[in-house]
Amino acid sequence: MMSGLRCPSSGRAACLRPATCRTTCAAGPRPCRLPVVSGWSPASRPAWPPSAVIWFRPACSAKFSFANRLRCWIEIGDFYPRLMPREVKLRATPSHPMQTLLNRVQAAHTLLCVGLDPVGDDAQVARRLAEVIDQTSEYAAAFKPNLAFFLSRENGVQLLRETVQRVPDGIPVILDGKFGDIANTADHYARFAYDIIGADGVTVNPYMGDDAIVPFARPGKLVFALAKTSNKPTHSLQDVALTRGGSLADCAARVARQLDEQHGGIGLVVGATNPEAVARLRALCPDQWFLVPGVGAQGGDLAATLRAGLRPDGTGLLINTSRALWQATDTAAAARELVEQMNQLRPVVV
């Protein structure tokens, strides 16, 4: 969508539409999901209010000079003829970080999280990623690219950016990096995930405490903290009993719940390979969203997991499937079948 605002360098219109935009100007197609403006920002600039959450990406960003950045601004909600913020925000921020996810779940009647764990040579992977996204978007509540499968490639970061960019707007993208450091290191990981890659959420390892989670809890972003993972039904670390009661996984869930109450948007990663643990953690965290790996190749029981973890409204779980969709001959049919199975086992609120 081309606005009336124009870049002073070339006179070309600025594009205000999010990731689905493919408007072509003289500079060629410029999808709008990835950040393009970075650099100096005065410390004295005022904080942007919640109403000013969408800023534009110039269609002619290659020629958008530093001097011209200072002259470009847009009114959204309130009147702010200020300097361009250091980072371009890419998507509208809902009133609650999980609202975008809930909106998608309710609109598409789906709990399916499409995992993207690409295997194969670079050309094959790029082609298959596009196929999987295009064929499953209708059925996806979210997409979850696994960071390791991209970083192991020479062009991995660029491929990841292009993958995130391809996902239609309105479908959250959760970058599965299991980030676990603290302080300024965590801040830089958050900048990578949100500002470089353009993700809507992340997975984090809470072993180092609050400081490993809070830097990712930006307004409008989704954070899923590891609690009970799918790699083993019984885990040598997560199942350790604490003297004050409960397990280490239970403790991680309580920490995440408390942080969610303070910051919003913080859920849990809870594996489908142990439905009893899903039920226990749902009792501890009745309102939070669970990202649930382990259905499919890892042998998780879909029906038992839904019975154990669904909230009363039939939501609260994102059921992740990766290999079953990546390897499917008819990916769209496989995704549709999974969604139908889930919806038969849950109340669907229309």
Cα 1 from Cα 14, distance rounded (Å)? 9
Cα 217 from Cα 81, distance rounded (Å)? 28
Closest of 323, 316, 315 to residue 299, by C-alpha: 323
Helix (H, G, I), strand (E, B) or coil at 327: coil
Closest of 145, 122, 121, 124 to residue 133, by C-alpha: 145
The catalytically annotated residue of 89, 178, 228, 232 is 178
* Cα→Cα distances 249→235, 239, 281, 284, Å: 10, 6, 8, 11
Cα 303 from Cα 296, distance rounded (Å)? 12
By the 8 A CB rule, do 59 and 16 touch? Answer: no
Q: Which residue has the tokens 């970061």?
A: 157
Closest of 182, 208, 204, 206 to residue 194, by C-alpha: 204
Q: 39: which 2 tokens?
A: 């650099």
Which ranges in 247-330 belong to alpha helices (H)? 248-263, 275-284, 302-309, 323-326
Q: If residue 292 lies in a helix (H) or strand (E), which one and from where to where?
A: strand 290-292
Helix (H, G, I), strand (E, B) or coil at 23: coil
Helix (H, G, I), strand (E, B) or coil at 144: strand
Residue 178 annotated among the catalytic residues of the structure: yes
Long-range contacts of 213-218 (CB under 8 A, 24+ apart): 213/255, 213/256, 213/259, 213/266, 214/259, 214/263, 215/183, 215/186, 215/187, 215/189, 215/190, 216/179, 216/186, 216/189, 216/190, 217/97, 217/259, 217/263, 217/264, 217/265, 217/266, 218/190, 218/194
Q: Please list the active-site residues.
A: 178
